[in-house]
Amino acid sequence: MSSEKEFKIEDRLEQEYKYGFETDIEVEEFPKGLNEDVIKLISQKKNEPQWLLDYRLKAYKHWKTLTPPTWPYCKIPEIDFENLYYFSKPKEKKKYDSLDEVDPELLETFEKLGIPLTEQKRLTGVAVDAVFDSVSLGTTHQEDLEKVGVIFCSFSEAVENHEELVKQYMGTVVPYTDNYYAALNAAVFSDGSFCYIPKGVTCPLDLSTYFRINAKETGQFERTLLVADKGSFVNYLEGCTAPQRDENQLHAAVVELVALDDATINYSTVQNWYSGNKKGEGGIFNFVTKRGKCQGKNSKISWTQVEAGSAITWKYPSCILLGENSVGNFYSVALTNNKMQADTGTKMIHIGKNTRSTIISKGISAHDSQNVYRGLVKIMPSAEGARNFSQCDSMLVGDQCAAHTFPTIDVKNPTAIVEHEASTSKISADQIFYLQSRGMDTEKAVSLIVNGFCREVFKTLPLEFSVEAVKLIEMKLENTVG
């Protein structure tokens, strides 16, 4: 077997980043650096109530006592937090009354990304909240949602119009004391999405937030809060891209999900932030805290993520299974190429009786990339009859990449059943030749192998997203010359 062929397979992973364009737009930014004044300014700019400013300041104070985590299996360059802008928004009117007032340049940006926001394009059956840099640009389909009482709006609007709900739930799943980046986010978060599904309502549309970082040297700190009241159901989708820049950009988001009795939340992410060039220059640092709380009995939270971008990903969408019979799922595909580093996984904390969780993680690494699965399954003494099944599979393309698995299992109740399976495989030139000799071209062969590998995860995505995810992975695997 020649090494030359092996190299060719890797070439297929070198698709240029097609979302790397920059939108030329005037922005309003605060001075660089982080201090109490900047936080006050952010809060003031957004007309926030006092309690929220206090929350931010407490978080900031706490953050100053923390140091960045060093345990991830990643080489993270030191981030100069004083050299970042903490607030950037397109310079325009204070608030858009309708999307028609949004700068056409911005709408065009989302158009290019395949996220239609304009009226005539709203037939896709997905309600979208578009977040550009730190500010939500607008949310589609709001009227349809209002009819059934679903609240879906930017975080800022939620603070203004649904203050009680925000106050009741914000920080209850990811407290600002949780970790370094969560504390930072709590201090400086600028916007994000808010969603509330009332009792007994099955959300008539899939909800979607689309994040776009544009401004230079700007941290993006958005916060998503999603509350599913008793007996409700929602599919939530999240997509992300950023321009191609030589310097790194920080993205430190927090996502909190709350599911009350009998509620179901399916939260899916297709993450395609710019991942830097072949030499590893530039790209997004994606340091995100995502956590769901199955607060009520029989509640269910499923995380599905397709992580295909970012220079460094540090992310562990988790579930706290508090309610009896509640269910937490984590389905993940993480693809790394070039010099990308991903340290991702999940935590399943079983507290309630008969709680169940499933973890399916698929890591694909190519070139010189590092792909880590890190997981915790914790069964508390109260979690009588808890069950967990974990499966962590890694696929290697070439021989310079690495895959690591760090599962932690902590069982404090003897009635619990915990299973863990793991495997590592490699795409070899011989596999490609075998499939070719059966009539499939190279591209088809690679995509068959990879899609076969990821199938269990892709099938958990809503149809539209699943198509997008398959395309994204195939695009990353495609040869630039064809």
The answer to whether 95 and 136 are in contact (CB under 8 A) is no
Residue from the set 227, 333, 449, 472 that interacts with another protein by CB under 8 A: 449
Q: Around 295, how many Cα atoms within 13 Å sit in the side-chain half-sphere?
A: 16
The answer to whether 410 and 379 are in contact (CB under 8 A) is yes
Q: Which amino acid, one-letter code, is at 224?
A: T
Residue 61 in contact with another protein, rule: CB under 8 A: no
Q: Helix crossing, 429-436 with 442-458: angle to 10°?
A: 110
Piece of the chain touching another protein by CB under 8 A; list 55-63, 146-154, 226-234, 443-451: 443-451
- For the chain, what is the radius of gyration of the CA atoms? 22
Residue from the set 124, 244, 442, 479 that interacts with another protein by CB under 8 A: 442
Tokens representing residue 202 in the block: 């099955």
Residue from the set 453, 457, 469, 470 that interacts with another protein by CB under 8 A: 453
Residue from the set 448, 462, 464, 475 that interacts with another protein by CB under 8 A: 448
The backbone torsions φ and ψ at residue 192, rounded to the nearest 5 degrees and listed phi first, read 150, -160
d(C-alpha 293, C-alpha 257), whole Å: 6
For the CB of residue 465, give the shortest distance to another protein in the complex, in Å: 21
Residue 441 in contact with another protein, rule: CB under 8 A: yes
DSSP state, residue 218: B
Closer Cβ to another protein, 184 or 333, answer by number: 333
For the CB of residue 370, give the shortest distance to another protein in the complex, in Å: 22
Closest by CA to 263, choosing from 231, 291, 295, 234, is: 231
Residue from the set 247, 422, 430, 459 that interacts with another protein by CB under 8 A: 430
Piece of the chain touching another protein by CB under 8 A; list 122-130, 205-213, 383-391, 448-456: 448-456
Residue 431 in contact with another protein, rule: CB under 8 A: yes
Residue 423 in contact with another protein, rule: CB under 8 A: yes
Residue 391 in contact with another protein, rule: CB under 8 A: no
Closest by CA to 187, choosing from 41, 70, 302, is: 41
The answer to whether 358 and 392 are in contact (CB under 8 A) is no
Distance of CA 297 to the CA centre of its chain: 26
For the CB of residue 8, give the shortest distance to another protein in the complex, in Å: 8
- Residue that the structure tokens 């956590």 belong to: 291
Residue from the set 80, 410, 434, 459 that interacts with another protein by CB under 8 A: 434
Tokens representing residue 182 in the block: 């969560």
DSSP state, residue 85: B
Residue 440 in contact with another protein, rule: CB under 8 A: yes
For the CB of residue 423, give the shortest distance to another protein in the complex, in Å: 7
Distances from the Cα of 325 to the Cαs of 189, 212, 234, in angstroms? Answer: 34, 37, 19
Q: Show the site string, 393-422: x = touches another protein by CB under 8 A, - = not.
A: x-----------------------------
Residue from the set 112, 278, 425, 459 that interacts with another protein by CB under 8 A: 425
Beta bridge partners of 271: 240, 307
Question: Which sign does the torsion angle of CA 13, 16, 17, 18 carry?
Answer: negative
Residue from the set 18, 61, 64, 444 that interacts with another protein by CB under 8 A: 444
For the CB of residue 441, give the shortest distance to another protein in the complex, in Å: 5
Residue 479 in contact with another protein, rule: CB under 8 A: no
Closer Cβ to another protein, 196 or 453, answer by number: 453
Residue from the set 20, 409, 433, 464 that interacts with another protein by CB under 8 A: 433
d(C-alpha 82, C-alpha 79), whole Å: 9
d(C-alpha 119, C-alpha 272), whole Å: 26
Residue 459 in contact with another protein, rule: CB under 8 A: no
Residue from the set 18, 455, 459, 471 that interacts with another protein by CB under 8 A: 455
Residue from the set 79, 165, 429, 475 that interacts with another protein by CB under 8 A: 429
d(C-alpha 38, C-alpha 55), whole Å: 14
- Residue that the structure tokens 């030499």 belong to: 279
Piece of the chain touching another protein by CB under 8 A; list 93-101, 250-258, 299-307, 436-444: 436-444
Residue from the set 94, 147, 279, 438 that interacts with another protein by CB under 8 A: 438
Residues near another protein (CB under 8 A) are 1-2, 4-5, 393, 423, 425, 428-431, 433-442, 444-445, 448-449, 452-453, 455
